[in-house]
Amino acid sequence: MSTEATSVVAQPSPAPDGTQPVLEDRKHGGEPSNRRVKQLLEQIFGHSLDAQIKGLLAVRKGERVEAPDEALRAAYGRGRADLLAEIKFAERLAEIRSRYPDFDSSWNRVRPLVPRVVWAEVADSEHGLEAAYRLAKLPELCRELSELDPEKARERFRHFVKDVVALGGLR
């Protein structure tokens, strides 16, 4: 077995019509709040969503990705953890969607009520997406969270997750 890393040379490709590709299902709720990762994907792999996916798969496999210039190599070095977090989140999201086909519709009904700090907790927590599904079934708790200051909402959600885990409600 060879210990040499495979090398992928990224070749940016222009967007066909000059528009930015839409990247959905992001760690931060589908919102363009994690712009550094999006910019990094475009800078290193180009505007083609296909090229970005292939590049992310290469990163996921541990292959070394070579950016075309020094600034991009530095950006790649800073952004590798962000890319891996996005990949892992996308995998967790796909799993939860396969387990709960109504996940998106349930979550979208309550999402306007859920504070951003709770979404960040959902995105970063091991049981976060499953807890979000359970939370979506409790609109009164979502309203309660929306009325709390951000840190208290985060703590209340953490307690909710612990309670559901303790009751054996999360896989």
- How high does pLDDT run on average in the chain? 75
pLDDT at res. 54: 84
pTM of the entire structure?
A: 0.56
Burial of 118 from C-beta contacts in 10 A (0-12 / 13-18 / 19+): buried
Residue 165 has pLDDT above 70, yes or no: yes
Instruction: Give the integer Cα–Cα distance in Å for 160 and 1.
Output: 47
75: tokens are 């950006």
pLDDT at res. 2: 43
